[in-house]
Amino acid sequence: MICLWLLAEVAVIAADIPEVIGTAFAFYLLFRIPVWIGVLITGSSTLLLLGLQRYGVRKLEFLISMLVFVMAACFFGELSIVKPPAKEVLKGLFIPKLKGNGATGDAIALLGALVMPHNLFLHSALVLSRKTPSSVRGIKDACGFFLYESGFALFVALLINIAVISVSGTVCFGENLSAEDIDKCSDLSLDNSSFLLKNVLGRSSSIVYGVALLASGQSSTITGTYAGQYIMQGFLDIKMKTWLRNLMTRCIAIAPSLVVSIIGGSNGAGRLIIIASMILSFELPFALIPLLKFSSSSSKMGPHKNSIYVSNRYFPSLHVACFWTRTSRVCSFMHDHAPQ
């Protein structure tokens, strides 16, 4: 139990590192603040945001969601302009191919960034927070609602990822690229990707991109804070104040982010995001296996346990993930993306 708690805490910290660096990149794009100073500012910015929740959580969530939605809409608008070959996009979805140096590591990082282990604990806690009737019918309806809610959120995230990757690939491999854009495409990261939206936003692309990046980082930090709180409460029966929990996690996440951003600059910070996301991917089995074991248990779930079809469908994929975690390639991936 303690080992699972420690692994879950590592996942929360690993998820917080990209949020710290992403927020620092946003400060750089908006105010030209050096990345390492932006990393330090993130320690107070999130606490300020948590403090603003007392004036209306729903309003704050709506504001952040709208900012992220604007960013997604811009990428979809850019997608309609650059027009990537639809046949190749569909082919890549169902028959993916990994080409280029570090492509496999990037794919693993993308999995961890999309399906974050700590969010599984958060979703479970959010289900418990709802007023659900204790009857069999009430619990069944709640499970169905949660299935549709999570499925819709992941589907939207999938569409946004398709748009971002398709736009990036089409723009960077297109013709008539300037020398500056070619240089950016050779080492594409969060802090230099705003040029991808020039067709839609023109010169204001960096400002809109920076605002959306800031909103995304703050919203992810809030969910990470609550996830860490639920993890500590569930494993150790310790309930901690939200601001204290955020401060504790953020201080740990700031340390490596600050060191890498000072030594390696924005390039090193971008590589640290990849490494942290890869750690999240390797943490997935330690969150998914207990979840599937408990949800497939008759003694724990009773009539609401997973069907044999669900268990037989997902356990083989977990075995593949566990095998992938044990391979020696992990070290080479870490080496490829480590700050030079």
pLDDT digits (tens, 9 = 90+) for 65-103: 776 777 788 888 888 888 888 888 888 888 877 776 777
Res 21: pLDDT: 92
- According to the model, what pLDDT value does residue 131 have? 73
In this structure, are residues 253 and 16 in contact, taking their beta carbons and an 8 Å threshold? yes
| Long-range contacts, stretch 96-100, CB < 8 angstroms, 24+ apart | none
Unique residue bearing structure tokens 């019918």 = 137
Q: Which of 291, 270, 274 is nearest to 282 (CA)?
A: 274
> Looking at residue 315, what is its pLDDT?
64
- For the cut 70, the answer to whether the pLDDT of residue 173 exceeds it is yes
What CATH number has the domain bearing residue 292? Answer: 1.20.1740.10
Q: Is the dihedral of CA 94, 158, 313, 140 positive or negative?
A: negative
What range does the domain containing 37 cover?
Answer: 2-337
Give the pLDDT of residue 308. Answer: 75
Instruction: Tell me the per-residue pLDDT of 11-24, one tens digit each, with 9 for 90 and over.
Output: 999 998 998 999 89
Q: What is the average pLDDT value for the chain, to the nearest integer?
A: 79
The share of the chain scoring above pLDDT 70, in percent, equals: 84
* pLDDT reported for residue 260: 92
**Which comes out higher in pLDDT, residue 277 or 311?**
277
pTM of the model: 0.81
Q: How many independent structural domains does the chain possess?
A: 1
pLDDT of residue 322: 61
At residue 57, the pLDDT reads: 58
Q: What's the mean pLDDT in 162-169?
A: 87
Tokens of 303: 């009539």
Q: What per-residue confidence (pLDDT) applies to 218?
A: 75
- pLDDT for 242 beyond 70: yes
Reply yes or no on whether the pLDDT at 236 is more than 80.
Answer: yes
What is the spatial distance between Cα 258 and Cα 41, in angstroms, rounded to a whole number?
11
Query: What integer is the mean pLDDT of 271-282?
Result: 89
- pLDDT above 50 for 302: yes
Give 37's pLDDT tier (boundaries 50, 70, 90).
very high
